[in-house]
Amino acid sequence: MAPEVLNTNDRAVMMAAVAWCNQIFPTQLQKMKTFNSTPYGGCAPARATAMLLAALFMWLAPVKIQAVDYEPLRKVSDVVRVQPRAWQGNGNRLKVPMIAWGGDIQTILANGNSKSTASGSLFDKAGLQVELFREDRFLKQLEMYLTGETPFLRGTLGMMNLAAEVTNRNPDTTMVLIYQLTWSAGSDAIVVRDGIRTPADLKGKTVVLQSFGPHVDYLATILKSAGLDPRDITWKWVPDLFEVAADSVSPAMAMLEDSSVDAAMVIMPDAQILTSGGRVGTGAEGSVRGAHILLSTKTADRVIADVYAVRMDFLQRYPAVVEKFVKALVDAEAEMRRLARSDAGGWRQLLSASAGLLLDDSNATGDMEQMFREADFAGIPGNILFFNDQNHPRRAWKIMAEIQESMASIGLMSGKVNIGLPPFDFQKLAGAASVPVAAAETPRFDTNAVSRLISRRQSQDTLGEGELFSFEIYFKPNQQTFPADLYKGEFDRAIELISTYGGALLTVEGHSDPIGYLKKKKDGEPGLVLERYKQSALNLSISRANAVRESLIEYAGTQGMDMDPSQFAVIGHGVMKPNTPNVTYDPDGDLGLQSAPRTKEEWDATRRVVFRIIQVEAEEEAFTPLF
């Protein structure tokens, strides 16, 4: 039977039922990093059943409320006491870890859609015998790595850095990164209470997240982009990423039960429930009143990098094995894309096998495909950018330096540690003479839809809606060009932001000096003259904003970065939105005389171009994912 189509209110009820259902009957929702309309994490009641389950949930919910037991902020080295051991195994049979994440589909494909290497699979053709296992508890996986049960570690770049102080205790277990699988592109979010509108508003707030989990570097990056220090917030840690058992404590549960928590780093299923379906929490059906998603990795799509690392002693003893392992992953990524696009039967088989290994339910193919869609696979071009491109803003060693600095500032690391980078040539592994590495091969945004969106927001005076970050550059009277040597710092910041938040728009907004217009208005010039002056100023502001945009794109090109023009929106405000302290408007909406700058400093500040990073996740017609 086809599932019933739910309206908006039904969906909220359904999510309440799902929340209850998955608390009482743990299913694959607790083992995944995604949310799909069907089968709602394993519980798929029809509308009437959902109503009954939701009512029962609301009746039982008060029983579940209890004080949240937070964990102390500790370094991995304070928790993991296992002593590193030299590698005692061989290179013939490998235990390879996975986590419940869409990127691991590619590892499963390389193994022939099987837990143990299937005949004719990519690993088999490479002469490898691989036994896959899922271990979502990173510290448990780390212990297996240290004791030699597996030569590999699988986690996010942030998790690897937190663990590096332990792996570096012994030269044999020193970590070497060997491959980037994916970037998270939609499965992780920060949910905030009412009153928090931009990342800068997190200052002084309390944020809860999983200890040693995938969101540590995500939060640190958001704070850095907002100009905040990690010490500007209160960090609270809980043991679980999502609810897996009756005694679990997750960030979503902490936010629901502890009113002192201002924000929670969560996976998207929990974000949907806390915010009543991704809108604003009503306070019912497991949501938090006023809670909303501040930012997800659909916007911040170059923050959480999923990687594989290998032990140094294994790499030194079996370099050919490691290279074959990575080469098989490279080939699997290309084959996976082919299956997704053109081989329906093969694609269904891969999804079913992946759902069985990652979600414990081979029938959960819809959930598995959603997980796949929320992962942006790096492939050869991405690995070259990540590991080899010294100019790329999101290169591995630069991100790691930022992670380590942030974590050391709050006591989660003692200081800087070295993590090795891949020792092989990714372009050679691809088996091609040339590999394109352009950062933006395909436009990510529908330019016509973006234009309509901007026009609508301008007419409604809501351009600031969804703003994440903003900053300004200034220019002199009659200035027409914006050379990079004068604006290098600002251009570097803009490139950093749009590279990190690839799912966001960058608006380039020009503003003209209003004093000439206001003088004419004060002198009583006719309305026609004033309108012509305003139009001229508007045209000039658009021209300057375009000049800044072109100069930024040209500068990025000199740094080896190909900007995606569809990510930019140029806007001209003319004289109508000065940043003077006493901006006023007449009853007819015209700029009031009191808006005139009073000092030279105020006057100089009115001639500006504003860069604004705005998220448009809700505007699905504007955003077009790459894959």
Domain ranges of the chain: 8-64, 76-183+305-421, 188-296, 447-615
506: β partners: 568, 613
Fold observed for domain 76-183+305-421: D-Maltodextrin-Binding Protein; domain 2 (3.40.190)
Burial (CB count within 10 angstroms: exposed 0-12, middle 13-18, buried 19+), residue 89: middle
What six digits make up the tokens of 322?
């490691």
What six digits make up the tokens of 410?
């709050």
**Are 76-183+305-421 and 188-296 the same fold in CATH?**
yes
Please name which of 462, 467, 409 lies closest in space to residue 220, comparing C-alpha atoms: 409
- Determine the average pLDDT of the residues in 483-509: 94
Percent of the chain with pLDDT over 70: 86
d(C-alpha 342, C-alpha 354), whole Å: 19
d(C-alpha 407, C-alpha 417), whole Å: 12
Please name which of 88, 93, 89, 90 lies closest in space to residue 131, comparing C-alpha atoms: 93
User: In angstroms, how far is CA 619 from the centroid of its own chain?
Assistant: 17
d(C-alpha 201, C-alpha 417), whole Å: 32
Query: Which residue reads 């109503």 in tokens?
Result: 51
Q: What is the pLDDT of residues 263-279, one digit of tens each?
A: 999 999 999 999 999 99
Q: So what's the pLDDT on residue 622?
A: 53
Q: What is the pLDDT of residues 4-40, one digit of tens each?
A: 333 333 434 444 444 444 443 333 333 333 333 322 2
d(C-alpha 101, C-alpha 354), whole Å: 10
- Determine the average pLDDT of the residues in 216-241: 94
- pTM (two decimals): 0.84
E strand or H helix that includes residue 254: helix 251-257
563: β partners: none
What six digits make up the tokens of 374?
């929320």
State the architecture of 188-296 in CATH terms: 3-Layer(aba) Sandwich (3.40)
Q: So what's the pLDDT on residue 262?
A: 98
Q: What is the pLDDT of residues 414-441, one digit of tens each?
A: 999 999 999 988 988 887 544 444 444 5
Instruction: Please check the confidence at residue 1 and state whether its pLDDT lies above 60.
Output: no
Q: What CATH number does the domain located at 447-615 have?
A: 3.30.1330.60
Q: pLDDT band for position 372 (50/70/90)?
A: very high
Give the residue, 354 or 90, on which the prediction is more confident.
Answer: 354
